[in-house]
Structure formats: C-alpha cells, structure tokens
C-alpha cells in the first residue's frame, strides 16, 4: 500500500497557513489536521492545574515549557491518527528542540521520508501589514485579508457594508508574535534547510498560486 503523505506548515503569522491547510485537506482527503493552537486551547479548558497555567499563557503570552507542545502533539497523533491517514500540522515545531523530537517520532512511525516541510514564506513587513491592515465588514462581519485584490476593496464585496480596520491583537502582541518567529521559528527553518528538507513557497502571491506552488513542490 502506498504510504500516506504528511505535511508540516511553517510560516509567520498572517502567512495564510490556515487557508493552505484547508486546501490541502480538500486535495488529500485523508489527512488528520493538528493545530497546536487548538491543542493548547483545548488543554486550557480542562479542570486541572496545568490548564490554569496554560490559560494564563494564552491570555498573557509567554512560553510553555520546552516539551509541552511535543507531548500534546505526540499524544494527539498516538490516539487519533489512523494507519492510512496522513498528518497535517500547523504551528509545530516552533523550536529546534521540537523539530528534533518530531524527527525521532516520525522515524518511529516510519513517516519521516514522506513528510513535507513547507515554509509559506512572507517577509516580516508583509506579515505586519497583513495583521494590522486586514479589515472587517461592519455589517456582515466578513474578514477581508490584506492580500492581492482585497486591498483595493472600498466596501464589503458581499453586502456593501463599510470596512473597518480592527486588528484583533494590539500592535505589541503582533510584534511579540513576529519576534518569536525571528528568534525561534527561523532556526527551525534553518534546521530543515540545512538538511535539504525544506520546501520554500512564495507566500506573497494569490492564494491559488501559493497552493499551485505547494502541489508542484511535493510532486
């Protein structure tokens, strides 16, 4: 039987990883999607000492202990991913130690060779603009990303409502996230690049073209 493909999406906040993840799910029917953000949010709902701490981290920012994301991730895969299913990961690994752990784990699962590490590459400046300049329709709540032709919209393209700039996060929080990428995730990118395992995808093009580039990179 052909072994299922696994995908790890890497990229700055605002790079459109989530959108590309959805497109991959459609293209490859049998993928199990793991968002590290969701794993942390679920953990925060539990009635436990750990949940309290994680809740605080999510609200105030800061770093969880080194192995927490890895443990959650391994737990999720161990309990849920079926034999014939591929893994689609978003938001992990974000530190080199996590990348090393992940490698060991993928090797154990005999999935390392069929795992693609995809960097959806956008510049720091582009990420900052996307996160601070995206708009929301006052009337219907539609989120208008700061990309391509959407930048030109004067009113909502669905209902004609007024568009407001309203970053969900403060500029400080956005800067923190982007700094985290520079200081940590960029080392993960280097880690895969040095081993010639990274597929660098130009994230500063229309969504469909980003996806096309992904598909040709994994052929």
Shortest distance (Å) from residue 153 CB to Zn ion: 10
Shortest distance (Å) from residue 157 CB to Zn ion: 8
CA 202, 194, 27, 18 dihedral sign is negative
Q: Interface with Zn ion includes 185 (CB under 5 A)?
A: no
Structural contact between residues 86 and 28, judged by C-beta atoms closer than 8 angstroms: yes
Query: What distances in angstroms separate CA 203 from CA 38, 115, 182, 183, one per listed residue?
Result: 23, 20, 17, 20
Backbone angles phi, psi at 168, to 5 degrees: -65, -25
Catalytic residues: 17, 94, 134, 166, 177
Closer of 37 and 160 to Zn ion (Cβ): 160
Shortest distance (Å) from residue 100 CB to Zn ion: 46
Closer of 166 and 171 to Zn ion (Cβ): 166
d(CA 42, CA 40): 5
- What is the per-residue binding string for Zn ion in 142-181, x denoting contact by CB under 5 A? x-------------x-xx-x--------------------
d(CA 121, CA 113): 23
d(CA 219, CA 215): 7
Closer of 143 and 217 to Zn ion (Cβ): 143
What residues numbered 126-145 form the site for Zn ion, per CB under 5 A? 137, 139-140, 142
Shortest distance (Å) from residue 210 CB to Zn ion: 25
**What residues make contact with Zn ion under the rule CB under 5 A?**
137, 139-140, 142, 156, 158-159, 161
């Amino acid at each position: 039987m052909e072994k299922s493909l696994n995908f790890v999406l890497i990229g700055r906040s605002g790079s459109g990883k989530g959108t590309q993840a959805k497109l991959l799910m459609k293209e490859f029917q049998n993928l199990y999607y793991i968002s590290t953000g969701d794993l942390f949010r679920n953990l925060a709902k539990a009635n436990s000492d750990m949940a309290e701490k994680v809740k605080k981290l999510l609200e105030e920012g800061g770093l969880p202990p080194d192995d927490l994301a890895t443990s959650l991730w391994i737990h999720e895969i161990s309990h849920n991913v079926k034999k014939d299913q591929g893994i689609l990961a978003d938001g992990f690994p974000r530190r080199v130690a996590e990348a090393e752990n992940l490698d060991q784990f993928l090797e154990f699962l005999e999935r390392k060779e069929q795992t693609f590490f995809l960097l959806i590459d956008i510049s720091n400046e582009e990420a900052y603009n996307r996160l601070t300049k995206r708009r929301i329709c006052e009337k219907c709540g539609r989120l208008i990303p700061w990309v391509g032709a959407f930048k030109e919209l004067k009113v909502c393209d669905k209902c004609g409502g007024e568009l407001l700039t309203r970053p969900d996060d403060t500029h400080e929080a956005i800067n923190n996230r982007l700094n985290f990428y520079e200081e940590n995730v960029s080392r993960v990118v280097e880690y895969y690049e040095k081993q010639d395992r990274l597929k660098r995808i130009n994230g500063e093009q229309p969504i469909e073209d980003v996806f096309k580039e992904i598909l040709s990179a994994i052929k």
